[in-house]
Amino acid sequence: MEDARNPMVPAGTSVKLTGVLALGDPEDDKPSEPCILLRSSADIEILSSAPWPLERMLAIISLMLGLQALGLMALTAVYARLRRRTADLTATRSALESVNRNLESRVEARTQTILAAHEALRESEERFRQLAGNIDQIFWMSTPDNKQLLYLSPGFEKICGRPIKDVYQAPEFWLQLVHPDDRELVFNAAFGQPITKEYEIEYRVLRPDGTVRWLLDRGFPVRDSSGVVYRVAGIAKDITRRRHDEEEFREQHVALTNAMPGISRLDLAGNYTHVNHHYAQLVGCTPEQLIGTPFSTTIHPEDMHLAMRAFEQMQLTGKSEAEIRWIRTDSSVFWKQVLLVRITQSDGKMTGHHCFMRDITARKLNELLLEGQNAVLEMIAAGASSQETLGTIARFIETRAHGASASILLLSGDGLHLVPGTSPSLPEDFTRTLKPANRSGNRCVRSRSVYATACHRHRYHH
């Protein structure tokens, strides 16, 4: 800026208005022309006469001062805002640091929990694999549609005789192992539709060596926290032996129904739980009278050891046979042939046994008679005394007549008297009553009744 009236301000000098100054003589009442005080860029104060009227200059100065005041107020407001913002940022940063420390602590704790859970899961899986690898059952796990096999235990190879990898590579391979007659059953239960409820089926599988194994397969859905089925687990058990036993029992039942019409069932305590009419008729009562009673009440005391031996053999091998004497309700004795068959559950636990029976009294008595005759003939051929031979005959008679005591009398040489031959189970007093001096023998010859009353507490009638 160059002031033409003030050559002291060189051209191009930037100046700053500093104020307005009115100069004049104090003694002169006439005011002088006001001047403007300027500040140049060279920091030189210059006094110049105002080129404008005083009012305009005052207005400009007031405007400039107002603008300056507004600027200071704006700066003050901005500075206050900056301080508040800085305080807010400081507080936010402190809060964020606290939150960050809390999060780091929680993440560390969570990490430790996850690591511990992972280790526990690993140990659990290891125990499961050890368990699954050492039992003769098949554990399996798949997707709900059974199109993807997730796990198959080593028991599969033991039972089915096939490598596990074959099923992992093609899950439908399992269905190919199933016996053709059972494939529809298995497909409908496990492959035909997604599994939504538990199922249990029995079917056959074919091994590479041509043998057949029966499996009891139980499958059940596994649901997540929302109740949606996300996998299916199952256990397949080899029940080949049980199925063979059941088939054998059915065959025996058909045969025994014809050969041994007496059929009963007993519990573990040996009490009757079921009796058919033929069985009860042989014992001499009704089925209702036998239900709940122990079998020992019908066994002849002398044959109880044979019955217990047959029972123990049945427990060990599954079945046993015996020929023993039974006692009817009227105390009569008869011989029977029995077949005991063990009853077991699916887990192999015994729950009782069947008893099949038929009456063999006629055959057994003929066998005993033949044995007695052969024994007497052998004794005679061996030169045994007549007393020993008669004793054998008497004891043989006693075995045929339960509860009776036999006595053999001989006819005297004159044919008029009876003399004692042998009475192995009778007291001496009985023998004395039959001596000729007592005349009892003569009465017997004449077919008259003889009462022996001198035999202490025994009384015999002939």
The per-residue DSSP string of 235-254 comes to: EEEE-HHHHHHHHHHHHHHH
> Are 338 and 315 contacting, i.e. CB atoms less than 8 angstroms apart?
no
Please compute Rg for the chain using Cα positions: 61
Considering the domain architecture, whether residues 320 and 291 belong to the same structural domain is answered as: yes
How far apart (Å, rounded) are the C-alpha atoms in residues 35 and 23? Answer: 7
Beta bridge partners of 409: 420
- Residue 143 covered by a domain: yes
**How many domains does the structure of the chain reveal?**
3
pLDDT score for 262: 87
- Residue 107 covered by a domain: no
Considering the domain architecture, whether residues 151 and 195 belong to the same structural domain is answered as: yes
Listed residues 208, 238, 268: the one ending a domain = 238
Listed residues 206, 238, 270: the one ending a domain = 238
Closest to 216 (Cα-Cα) out of 347, 350, 351, 352: 347
pLDDT score for 345: 74
Considering the domain architecture, whether residues 223 and 320 belong to the same structural domain is answered as: no
Report, as an integer, the average pLDDT of 133-139: 73
Q: Higher confidence at residue 460 or residue 56?
A: 56
Considering the domain architecture, whether residues 253 and 232 belong to the same structural domain is answered as: no
Report, as an integer, the average pLDDT of 422-451: 59
Max CA-CA distance within the chain?
215
Considering the domain architecture, whether residues 164 and 222 belong to the same structural domain is answered as: yes
Considering the domain architecture, whether residues 205 and 231 belong to the same structural domain is answered as: yes
Considering the domain architecture, whether residues 314 and 215 belong to the same structural domain is answered as: no
Burial environment of residue 414 by CB neighbours within 10 A (0 to 12, 13 to 18, 19 or more):
exposed
- Residue 364 covered by a domain: no
pLDDT score for 133: 58
Q: Higher confidence at residue 459 or residue 42?
A: 42
**Three-state DSSP class for 424?**
coil
pLDDT score for 393: 76
Report, as an integer, the average pLDDT of 410-414: 72
pLDDT above 80: residue 400: no
Distance of CA 456 to the CA centre of its chain: 70
Q: Higher confidence at residue 115 or residue 236?
A: 236
Phi, psi of 453 (to 5 degrees): -115, 0
Element (H, E) at 353: strand 350-359
Q: What is the dihedral of CA 339, 340, 346, 348, to 10 degrees?
A: -130
Domain range for residue 438?
407-461
pLDDT score for 125: 62
Which ranges of 284-360 would DSSP assign to H, the alpha helix? 287-290, 304-317
Angle at 439 between CA 437 and CA 440, to 5 degrees: 120
- Residue 103 covered by a domain: no
pLDDT above 90: residue 308: yes
How far apart (Å, rounded) are the C-alpha atoms in residues 234 and 197? Answer: 12
pLDDT score for 307: 92
Q: How confident is the model at residue 388 (pLDDT cuts 50, 70, 90)?
A: confident
Q: What is the mean pLDDT of the chain?
A: 75
Considering the domain architecture, whether residues 205 and 283 belong to the same structural domain is answered as: no
pLDDT above 70: residue 461: no
Beta bridge partners of 141: 151, 233
pLDDT score for 403: 63
Structure tokens at 130: 């050890």
Residue 334 sits in a domain of what CATH number?
3.30.450.20
Considering the domain architecture, whether residues 259 and 188 belong to the same structural domain is answered as: no
Report, as an integer, the average pLDDT of 366-389: 77
Closest to 137 (Cα-Cα) out of 239, 36, 210: 239
- Residue 110 covered by a domain: no
Element (H, E) at 140: strand 137-142
- Residue 328 covered by a domain: yes
Q: Higher confidence at residue 381 or residue 321?
A: 321
Residue in the structure block whose two tokens are 């402190």: 94
pLDDT above 80: residue 260: no
Considering the domain architecture, whether residues 197 and 234 belong to the same structural domain is answered as: yes
pLDDT in tens, 161-205: 888 888 888 777 788 899 998 988 888 888 777 778 888 999 999
Residue in the structure block whose two tokens are 């050559």: 7
Helix axes 361-381, 386-400, angle to 10 degrees: 180
- Hey, which of 100-109, 306-315, 428-437 has the most confident mean pLDDT? 306-315
pLDDT score for 179: 92
Listed residues 238, 254, 288: the one ending a domain = 238
Considering the domain architecture, whether residues 224 and 274 belong to the same structural domain is answered as: no
Considering the domain architecture, whether residues 166 and 250 belong to the same structural domain is answered as: no
- Hey, which of 103-112, 304-313, 352-361 has the most confident mean pLDDT? 304-313
- Residue 7 covered by a domain: no
> Are 453 and 432 contacting, i.e. CB atoms less than 8 angstroms apart?
no
Would you say the pTM of this structure is higher than 0.75?
Answer: no
pLDDT score for 312: 92
Q: Higher confidence at residue 238 or residue 147?
A: 238
Q: Which of 72-81, 117-126, 295-304, 313-322 has the lowest mean pLDDT?
A: 117-126
pLDDT in tens, 20-46: 444 445 555 555 555 555 444 444 444
pLDDT score for 38: 47
pLDDT in tens, 59-79: 666 666 666 667 777 778 777
Percentage of the chain modeled with pLDDT above 70: 69
Angle at 27 between CA 25 and CA 30, to 5 degrees: 65
pLDDT score for 257: 60
- Residue 121 covered by a domain: no
**Three-state DSSP class for 400?**
helix
Phi, psi of 340 (to 5 degrees): -100, 130
